[in-house]
Structure 1
Amino acid sequence: MKKLIHILPIIALTFIGCDKVDDPYPVLLDDGSTIVIDPSLGITVADLANINWTTVEGTPTTKRNTVIEEFTGARCTFCPNGSKVLVQLDTLYGEQVIPVSIHAGNFAEPQPDSTKPFFLDLRLPVEAGESVSKGETYLTTFNPAKAYPRGIVSRLTAEAENQSKWRAEVDAVKDDAMKAKIDLDVMFAESDDLIRIVIDYEFMEESQLVHDLQVYIIENHIIGWQLDNGTAKEFYDHKYVLRRVLNGLWGITAEPAVLGEVYHKEYVIRKEKNWDSNNLKAIVFIADRETQEIIQANQTPVR
């Protein structure tokens, strides 16, 4: 990751008290600071230097990358067909396609009984202050008909589409000139289960448009039940599962699109106990606020 010389000095954070510090999904409060630390961790910016980090240096974007957000569920019998297409596109396009599987809706609700052994809950949690989870909001926003499987490519269309259209959507924009560049490193402190996401981003052209910066955590290879074309499979490999949205439903306001300016942002959270750090990735993308189109994205493994 490039060294920055024009970032404003980092100001120590003032942490807001949390009623339940043992909440498995605490709300990450982004107050606009350069480094945002989950307040439940009880650490400051100064403490970060004393933590033993292992860093995965990501690859800066060199082309326009696309994000495919797929809506799925363990009780959706045809959803594995969509997941297969995600794997195919991931393999075909490499880093230019970033898949995300959002488990939401009725098909994602676990039913742990003898006839419907779908007890694995891969939905995003309902966090403090939310009436529904972010996953459910994404579902009603981009897939209001709640048809499965469906996916939306970089939010280019108003609604999610059948998997047969995903490749054409990727092909339509993959050779476009980059509007932004994202450099993403991920640091992991195994002894404390801390994840530190380090982002440098810049715009490749001047713009008066407002953009949002969004951060996801996804997990690969979660083994559990899945209804697959009429057959209940106990050891199905769930991939690209959206585990957490770090910085609000639609992200935070990105810095102005000023040519030549490089902006820096970091997030520090604790890995949840049921996440496998070997299968985690951080995903960062920049979206046009008015159209919601994702203009650039990047991903880097946690370890």
Structure 2
Amino acid sequence: MGAFVALATLAGCDEVDEQDRFISMGKVEVKRKVLLEDFTGQLCSNCPKAHEVIDNLKAQYGDTVVAVSIHATSVFGIPESTSPMGLMLPEGDVYLSQWADPGNVSLPTGVLNRKGGLCDYSKWSSGVRSALAEDSDVELKLEAVSMVGEDSIVIRVHLASGATRNAKLQLWVTENGIESIQSFPDHVNPQYVHSHVYRGAVNGVGGEDVVLQQNIPSDLERGVRMKPNWKPENLSVVGFIYTIADGVLQVEECKVK
């Protein structure tokens, strides 16, 4: 955990102008994809504002921005295990605790490419813009197929790297179009549509160790069983390669076919 917290000393979102807006940013040379981990909660009345920022980023940059909404904290989250409408899994606080004590964090907040520490949603625009322009020598491709009659998903992963390194591969299942409760400053919407929702880790909460060989591609296959409350047609798989020192080296997302 301490290694993650130490990353907060790196240049991050807290160094950009809080007043930046999409309309004044101009064009950016996109060199890679960016992972945005959005820590959110159904009882967090300001969290829909962060969701709007994600929608704007997706509209501007398309699939080069990979967003995952991770429901977290006992204050703002509704546990999946205690409510049919809950979206918070225990891993939510585990992921958040890599950056701060979940009991002392105000949501919404997020992390870009697992670098720079927690970042207020008002800074995500500039943070994403900067991250898109960073070089990456890692290639990641995903294919996910649901197995009819088996209630499972097969995930095929292709990896390539311009340098030899030890890293981690993390695979997540996410879901769009989930109608459930969401608090707002002045009301509660019982049919709010939640997007990019973290639904589970395929290969462990911290991912699995992988060795990337310089200019030697590799392929692997993983599987996960679908939960009864998942809608297969709304599922995606998010995969990313990361190291503690360098954060996310590359990220990819694919729809489950």
Q: Are residue 79 (structure 1) and residue 47 (structure 2) matched?
A: yes
Take 1:226 and 1:206, find their aligned partners in 2: how far apart are those partners? Answer: 44
User: Aligned runs of 1:240-279 on 2, under 5 Å?
Assistant: 240-256=196-212, 258-279=213-234
User: Aligned runs of 1:35-74 on 2, under 5 Å?
Assistant: 63-74=31-42
Q: Which amino acid aligns with 1:163?
A: Y
Q: Is the 8 A contact 1:210 1:290 kept in 2?
A: no
User: Aligned runs of 1:22-171 on 2, under 5 Å?
Assistant: 63-106=31-74, 107-109=76-78, 120-124=85-89, 133-144=90-101, 145-157=104-116, 159-171=117-129
Q: Is the 8 A contact 2:35 2:112 kept in 1?
A: yes
Take 2:135 and 2:245, find their aligned partners in 1: how far apart are those partners? Answer: 20
Q: CA deviation at 1:219?
A: 0.4
User: Aligned runs of 1:143-222 on 2, under 5 Å?
Assistant: 143-144=100-101, 145-157=104-116, 159-203=117-161, 205-207=162-164, 209-222=165-178
Q: Give percent identity, aligned residues only.
A: 27
- What residue number does 1:289 align with? 244
Higher helix share: 2
Aligned residues: 223
Q: Which amino acid aligns with 1:135?
A: G
Q: Is the 8 A contact 1:119 1:225 kept in 2?
A: no
1:165 aligned counterpart, secondary structure:
helix
Q: Which amino acid aligns with 2:92?
A: G
Alignment deviations for residues 245-266 of structure 1 (CA, whole Å, 9 cap, x no partner): 111222111113x221111111
Alignment deviations for residues 67-94 of structure 1 (CA, whole Å, 9 cap, x no partner): 1001111111111111111111112111
Which consecutive residues of structure 1, in runs of 5 or more, have no partner in the other structure? Answer: 1-61, 112-117, 125-132
Q: Which amino acid aligns with 2:94?
A: T
1:185 aligned counterpart, secondary structure:
strand
Q: Is the 8 A contact 2:34 2:132 kept in 1?
A: yes
Q: CA deviation at 1:290?
A: 2.9
Q: Is the 8 A contact 2:79 2:88 kept in 1?
A: no
Take 1:170 and 1:210, find their aligned partners in 2: how far apart are those partners? Answer: 25
1:142 aligned counterpart, secondary structure:
coil
Q: Is the 8 A contact 1:287 1:294 kept in 2?
A: yes
Take 2:242 and 2:72, find their aligned partners in 1: how far apart are those partners? Answer: 22
Higher strand share: 2
Q: 1:183 to 1:119 in 2, by over 3 A?
A: closer
Q: CA deviation at 1:110?
A: 5.3
| Superposition CA RMSD, Å | 1.8
The equivalent position to 1:235 in structure 2, one of 191, 194, 198, is 191
User: Aligned runs of 1:7-18 on 2, under 5 Å?
Assistant: none
Q: CA deviation at 1:271?
A: 1.2
Alignment deviations for residues 269-291 of structure 1 (CA, whole Å, 9 cap, x no partner): 22111101111000110002334
Using the size of structure 2 for normalisation, the TM-score is: 0.82
Q: Which amino acid aligns with 1:295?
A: L
Q: CA deviation at 1:177?
A: 2.5
Q: Which amino acid aligns with 1:219?
A: E
Alignment deviations for residues 209-261 of structure 1 (CA, whole Å, 9 cap, x no partner): 431110000001110111012210011001111000111222111113x2211
Q: Is the 8 A contact 1:63 1:96 kept in 2?
A: no
Q: Which amino acid aligns with 2:77?
A: A
1:87 aligned counterpart, secondary structure:
helix
1:160 aligned counterpart, secondary structure:
strand
Q: CA deviation at 1:188?
A: 1.4
2:229 aligned counterpart, secondary structure:
coil
Q: Is the 8 A contact 2:54 2:67 kept in 1?
A: yes
Take 2:160 and 2:191, find their aligned partners in 1: how far apart are those partners? Answer: 42
